[in-house]
Amino acid sequence: MNWWRRLVHRGEMERHLDAELRFHFDGLVAENLRAGMSEPEARRSARLEFGGVEQLKEECRDARGTRWIEDLWQDLCYGARVLGSAPAFTLGAVAVLALGVGVNLAEFQVFDAIIFHYLDIRDADSVLHLTRNSRRGPSPGFPHGAVEFYQTHSRSFAWLISEDSTFDVVVEGDAAVRSTLVSPNYFASLGIVPAWGRLVDAQDAQPGAEPVAALGYDYWRNHWGADPNVIGRIVRINNRPVQIVGVLPYSFPRSLLGRMSEVWFPVSMRPLLMAGTPTLQQDFTRPSEALFGKLKPAVSQAAGAVELTSLTRELARQQPRYFRDDEQLEGQLVQQSIVQVVRSRPAVAVFFVMILLVLLSACANLGNILLARGLARRREIDIRMAIGASRARVLRQLMTENFLLALLGAAAGLGFGAAAVRLLLNAMDSPHTLRLTIGWPILIAALVLTMVSAIAFGLPSALQSVRLNQRKIHLRQSLVGIQAAVSCVLLIASGILARSAISSASLPLAFDYRDMLVIYPQLDGRNLAAPVVQDKLNALSTRFSALPSVAGVTAAVVPPLGRRPIIDSLPGLPPVYRNAVAPSYFTVMGLPVVRGRTFLPGEQGVIIVSESAARAVWPAQDPLGQQWQLARAQRTVVGIVKDSGANLLTDADSIEAYVPMEGPDLERTALILHTPGDPAPLVRMIPGSAAAVNETVSVTLMRTSHDNLLEAERGLVILIGSIGSVATTLAAASMYALVAFTVAQRKRELGIRMALGAGPRHILNVLLRQNAKPTVAGAVAGLVLAAILSRLVRSQIVLYKLEAMDVVGFATGLAGFALVSVLATLSPALRALRIDPSTTLHDE
């Protein structure tokens, strides 16, 4: 009979064993009878000769090799009964495990969804973003003529698509709406299926096609009342009648470049939407499209890039004004890998550390609960060992119970995790744009996490129960210490982050970004001479100044809150945010010149610094008239301006410096327009106004840039903040459990003390002193750890304003910890005070 049958047919095995032994025994009896013994005599003698039948049977059962699994089953049954008989303990332990594991699962899922699955497109892992690179540096984008050229001539790509999301539009005369122009094959190639109607497709590329638009899901839901009848309606976009033909699915809220987009047009509509832009065919003047492609199967990424680069050579030959012959095309996967994510957003690493700390805190908590439980069960264990159970056997039994706990914890953790995910997504205000994947990886992660934590932190108390580990006091105190330290770190960290998030959200900007428009003239890459560029800029400025309700126009290479800051790193100084600006910049932006003056027209070799820069560079001297080597020249300080605050959004320490615009700066210049009224109508007028001087521009509201900038890290901060609340709960649960257990365990002693006349103060003192030392020690350790961590966080999270040693943040965290500890201690301690000495002593 094989092993499996021996295990399954246990009853049969027992009957056989019995028959086998009985056969032998009966044989002995018969032999004895034949030898002339009486019946009882024969039986007695046979028993002596044969040995103890029950012992032999036990030995035979061991010999079967199925014993361990039978024991395991027995242990599981017993464990289930034990857990069932102590519901308070079981619930507590499972809740703690579920909290620790559930949070980990939830945060991982949300994180995974934010970082890896926000692109809900076909073949997301093989779509390449193609960029131009030459000796002059990376170029922003491709003109439409080039996109069509690649589409026609490339052989190694299954498809090539383009998108252009550089400008905002006005829908029905209202707010500025973020839009994206896409190539006609865009949605079909990405496998995006409309929620309603149809999306931009090939028919929109036909000559004479009607102007159409598809709405983003969120925009459709929030601004159009989620009304499917909107399809077919004609709306005025940039004052042109455009037919709405469909709604995008909720899973595709952003363009491939990651820009939120509310309205989507075929790229062929650009001339219509932006008066003055050239017709699309053979247009090389406006390099505003981003190019994406998917390689054919069996074509390597390198081969694809080589082919496109050689096609670019050909373009450079045909269009030498717009393409350089040293340009290389490079492909990068749209979907980032985890390594890239951590490298590009180091805050992610901090996030990982924090969720692991939550798990550690939950584990220490569980360890404490199990330890308490072990003490309460000491009698039972002692009895079992006294009647012959081996240490290993009891240990196995205890660990089986832990295993059962882990299973329950995993199940509860999954449930809690699912609920937490929903909460988090609601908090982040993006409930339906993320795709959550609850699959095998999550289930397995839940099981592994709970198993590891239940076993690693259950083993010490199990060992102690069987007396292999005598240092129970140390174990208990170190668990309390770990718990306190981790709780402290988490609370302090979330205190700091919460403060930084609040201070960033209310960061005072010295200029009113709501009243500003940024206009990007398309002057670079056209090989224009500096005076020509200057003339064109002047012409544009004059035109824009003439528009109604425009208070001023100025120019700067780096528009504030934009995506292309120039940062100089100088020895011994904070990062310097450098800008090249026109003399009128400070007036138009509303940045007061505190001392000195602004630039004179055409002036060179001078510099204006912000107040913070003045303090940082010349702490003891008058900055005016000082020399400063910056931007490839020795410059004299002529003025000091108020800090703009825009740089502080990305780097809390940074300082600002302004230099006059020079030749090479000009073609990269953006124009900044200030209007005291609503800037939205201007978005519509500006392209037409530019067209009057034969220029094309793209327009962005500074408000949009501001929102985009803040949006970037907001999700992560909410995630980290949510960890803080879980840490608080865990800290409270652990403190509560500790004191409650102490009360239960020392009930009799407390009763005696009270009978002997101990007052409430004395009783509380007895209760609290026990855990006070490790808690304080843990809190101190936590403080030190938090200080180290905050240094780390500070160097990693750049967006939020973190002070070097955020005293208020630390104090908030510590106070939170103290408050939680006291509150959690209060209820069981008060219960202790209500102990009635006579009943307590009577019970025993």
Partner 1 sequence: MLQVQQGSLYPALHRLENRGLLAAEWKDSETGRQAKFYRLTAKGHTELKSETESWKQLAKAVRLILESSEANG
Residues forming the site for partner 1 (CB under 8 A): 3, 16-17, 19-21, 23-24, 28, 49-53, 56, 59-60, 62-65
Distance, CA of 767 to CA of 763 (rounded, Å): 6
Closer CB to partner 1, 43 or 221, in the complex: 43
Residue 79: CB minimum distance to partner 1, A: 28
DSSP for 241-275? EEEEEEE--TT--B-TTS-B-SEEEEGGGHHHHST
Yes or no: say if 254 and 118 are a contact pair by the CB < 8 Å rule: yes
Closer CB to partner 1, 47 or 422, in the complex: 47
- The first and second tokens of residue 776, run together, are 């304080």
Closer CB to partner 1, 58 or 836, in the complex: 58
Residue 65: CB minimum distance to partner 1, A: 5
Residues 6+ apart with CB under 8 A from 611: 594, 640, 641, 642, 643
Yes or no: say if 743 and 828 are a contact pair by the CB < 8 Å rule: yes
Closer CB to partner 1, 64 or 753, in the complex: 64
Looking at the DSSP bridge assignments, the partners of residue 161 are: 292
Residue 444: CB minimum distance to partner 1, A: 35
Residue 422: CB minimum distance to partner 1, A: 54
- The first and second tokens of residue 146, run together, are 């080039």
Residue 60: CB minimum distance to partner 1, A: 5
Closer CB to partner 1, 68 or 819, in the complex: 68
Q: How far from 576 is each of 19, 231, 331, 612, CA to CA, in Å? A: 94, 51, 32, 10
Yes or no: say if 493 and 790 are a contact pair by the CB < 8 Å rule: yes
Mind spelling out the 3-state secondary structure of 685-736?
HHHHHHHCCCCCEEEEEHHHHHHHHHHHHHHHHHHHHHHHHHHHHHHHHHHH
Residue 251: CB minimum distance to partner 1, A: 59
Pick from 297, 288, 296, 291: nearest CA to 309:
291
Residues 6+ apart with CB under 8 A from 495: 724, 806, 809, 810, 812, 813, 816
Pick from 177, 140, 152: nearest CA to 526:
140
Residue 28: CB minimum distance to partner 1, A: 7
Residue 25: CB minimum distance to partner 1, A: 8
Residue 55: CB minimum distance to partner 1, A: 8
Query: In 506-570, where does DSSP find H-type helix?
Result: 530-545
What is the number of other CB atoms lying within 10 angstroms of the CB of residue 380? 12
DSSP code of 619? Answer: T
Closer CB to partner 1, 70 or 836, in the complex: 70
Residue 72: CB minimum distance to partner 1, A: 18
Closer CB to partner 1, 16 or 471, in the complex: 16
Closer CB to partner 1, 6 or 221, in the complex: 6
Q: Render the burial of 283-292: b for 16+ CB within 10 Å, e for the rest.
A: bbbbbbbbbb
The torsion of the CA quartet 170, 172, 178, 182, rounded to 10 degrees, works out to -100
Structure-token match 């052989």, residue found: 155
Closer CB to partner 1, 25 or 78, in the complex: 25
Residue 384: CB minimum distance to partner 1, A: 25
Residue 759, sorted as left (phi over 0), alpha (psi -120 to 50) or beta, turns out to be beta
Closer CB to partner 1, 27 or 664, in the complex: 27
Pick from 699, 683, 689: nearest CA to 276:
689
Residue 400: CB minimum distance to partner 1, A: 24
Closer CB to partner 1, 56 or 784, in the complex: 56
Residue 41: CB minimum distance to partner 1, A: 18
What is the number of other CB atoms lying within 10 angstroms of the CB of residue 207? 6
Distance, CA of 742 to CA of 736 (rounded, Å): 10
Residue 491: CB minimum distance to partner 1, A: 58
Residue 45: CB minimum distance to partner 1, A: 12
Residue 19: CB minimum distance to partner 1, A: 7
Closer CB to partner 1, 59 or 227, in the complex: 59
Closer CB to partner 1, 59 or 125, in the complex: 59
Distance, CA of 216 to CA of 179 (rounded, Å): 9
Yes or no: say if 540 and 517 are a contact pair by the CB < 8 Å rule: no
Closer CB to partner 1, 65 or 677, in the complex: 65
Distance, CA of 362 to CA of 727 (rounded, Å): 9
Yes or no: say if 533 and 759 are a contact pair by the CB < 8 Å rule: no
Closer CB to partner 1, 62 or 711, in the complex: 62
Closer CB to partner 1, 20 or 172, in the complex: 20
Closer CB to partner 1, 22 or 474, in the complex: 22
Residue 44: CB minimum distance to partner 1, A: 14
Closer CB to partner 1, 46 or 329, in the complex: 46
Yes or no: say if 290 and 162 are a contact pair by the CB < 8 Å rule: yes
DSSP for 276-314? TPPPSTT--S---BEEEEEEPTT--HHHHHHHHHHHHHH
Q: Residue 628 in 3-state DSSP?
A: strand
Q: Residue 438 in 3-state DSSP?
A: coil
User: How distant is the alpha carbon of residue 729 from its chain centre?
Assistant: 21
Residue 52: CB minimum distance to partner 1, A: 8
Structure-token match 């049954």, residue found: 77
Q: Between β-strands 263-266 and 176-182, what pairing exists: parallel, antiparallel or unpaired?
A: parallel
